[in-house]
Amino acid sequence: MAEGVYRRIVASRVRSQLAYPTSFALDCLAQAIGQALELVVILVVFGRVRSLGGFDREEVLLMYGLAGIAFGLADLAVGQLDDLPRWIRTGEFDVLLARPLGTLTQLATSDLQLRRLGRVAVGLVVLVAVITGAGIEPTPLNLALLVVTPLVGTVLISAIWVATCAVSFWVVDGKEVANAFTYGSSLTTSYPVTVFGPWLRRVFCFAVPSAFVAYFPALALLDRPDPLGLPHALRYASPLVAVVAVAVAALVWRTAVRRYQGAGS
How far separated are the first and last CA of the chain, in Å rounded? Answer: 32
pLDDT of 184 above 80: no
| In the predicted structure, residue 141 carries a pLDDT above the cut 90 | yes
Whole-angstrom distance, CA of residue 55 vs CA of residue 48: 14
Whether 42 maps to a domain, the answer reads yes
Question: Could you tell me if residue 78 is inside a domain?
Answer: yes
User: Residues 53-101: pLDDT tens digits?
Assistant: 889 999 999 999 999 999 999 998 888 888 888 888 888 888 888 877 7
**Cα-based distances in Å from 179 to 19, 81, 89, 100:** 31, 11, 18, 29
> Domain range holding 184?
2-259
264 inside domain: no
Q: Do the Cβ atoms of 153 and 216 come closer than 8 Å?
A: no
Coil/strand/helix, residue 207: helix
CA distances from residue 100 to 1, 2, 95, 97, 229 in whole angstroms, order as listed: 10, 8, 11, 8, 50
- Would you say residue 265 lies in a domain? no
Residue-level pLDDT at 17: 73
CA atoms of 160 and 169, how far apart (whole Å):
16
For residue 52, is pLDDT > 80?
A: yes
For residues 177 and 166, what is the distance between their CA atoms, to the nearest angstrom?
10
Whether the predicted model's global pTM rises above the 0.85 cut: yes
Residue 45, in any domain of the structure: yes
202, HSE (Cβ side, Cα atoms, 13 Å): 2
The more confident residue out of 197 and 173 is 197
Number of domains within the chain? 1
